[in-house]
Copies of this chain bind each other. A is one copy, B any other.
């Protein structure tokens, strides 16, 4: 039997999603909890890994087991074993065709950031840019990022992926008041560090280092050296994974 698993986590103190030797990861915690509940070595496949320090409002996974899974009761059972910063939201039966990564159509990420003076309350979930930013110019820059592009310039240079064409369906910056902002981006897939590099490039625009329309040349250059900094993991949150076009 295949099951779909929805989870939510605060990734701050974890070395990312994926299991690595001698590291505390989300996947390890989940598989340990599964071992406890099902007495079975269950492999959990996520829609994608999240890096160290990255959180998820709703990450989607799948797993296969022949054990007896009670999709309602086991949510509570797993949560009683898991640390409070990892929560199982739901377990449901899935078809064998369902694959948490391969079946994913779109994903939405959030990047929380704030400008100006340091605010400790914001530091819990957002990156402090320090400078004041021209948010209107950043919003203008978003329009050049939207669409289908080869995002090589916005991908960590050490990536093995060959096809770097992705579609960004929507990218926007939402003003949450008092210098706090949220960048929200939805696409059909994201290259390694792509959201963090896009955010860094938007910050370059906001600081006046580059103009919004310069995004066009940066994309065309396919050169990582032309885009902005890779922004810190803090502030990055996987919001949701969409599996159908509904």
Establish whether residues B121 and A57, one from each chain, have CB atoms under 8 Å apart when the complex forms.
Answer: yes
Quick check: is A43 within 8 A (CB to CB) of the other chain?
no
Docked-complex contact B10 and A57, CB < 8 angstroms: no
A240: nearest residue on chain B (CB-CB)?
Answer: B178
CB distance from A80 to the nearest CB of B (A): 13
The stretch of A83-91, A157-165, A201-209, A216-224 in contact with B is: A83-91
Query: A residues 90-108 with Cβ under 8 Å of B?
Result: 90
Q: Which residue of B lies closest to A55 (CB)?
A: B121
Which residues of chain B are near A215, meaning CB under 8 Å?
Answer: none
Query: How far does the alpha carbon of A87 sit from the alpha carbon of B123 in the complex, in Å?
Result: 11
Which of B86, B125, B237 is in CB contact (< 8 Å) with A125?
Answer: B125
Inter-subunit contact A121/B8 (CB<8 Å): yes
B residues near A118, Cβ cutoff 8 Å: 8, 87, 89
Q: Which residues of chain B are near A120, meaning CB under 8 Å?
A: 8-10, 55, 84-87
A185 at the interface (CB under 8 A from B): no
Copies of the polypeptide in the assembly:
2
Interchain CB contact (< 8 A) of A124 among B124, B174, B177: B124
Is the beta-carbon distance between B55 and A10 smaller than 8 angstroms? no
> In whole angstroms, how far apart are the Cα atoms of A10 and B119 in the complex?
8
A176 on the interface (CB 8 Å rule)? Answer: yes
A149 at the interface (CB under 8 A from B): no
Q: Which residues of B contact A240 (CB under 8 A)?
A: 178
B124 touches A10 (CB 8 A): yes
Residues of chain B within 8 A (CB-CB) of A85 are: 120, 123
User: Is residue A239 within 8 Å, beta carbon to beta carbon, of the partner chain?
Assistant: yes
State in angstroms the CA–CA spacing of A8 and B123 once bound together: 11
| Cβ–Cβ contact B8 & A56, under 8 A | no
Q: Report Cα–Cα, A86/B123, bound state, in Å.
A: 11
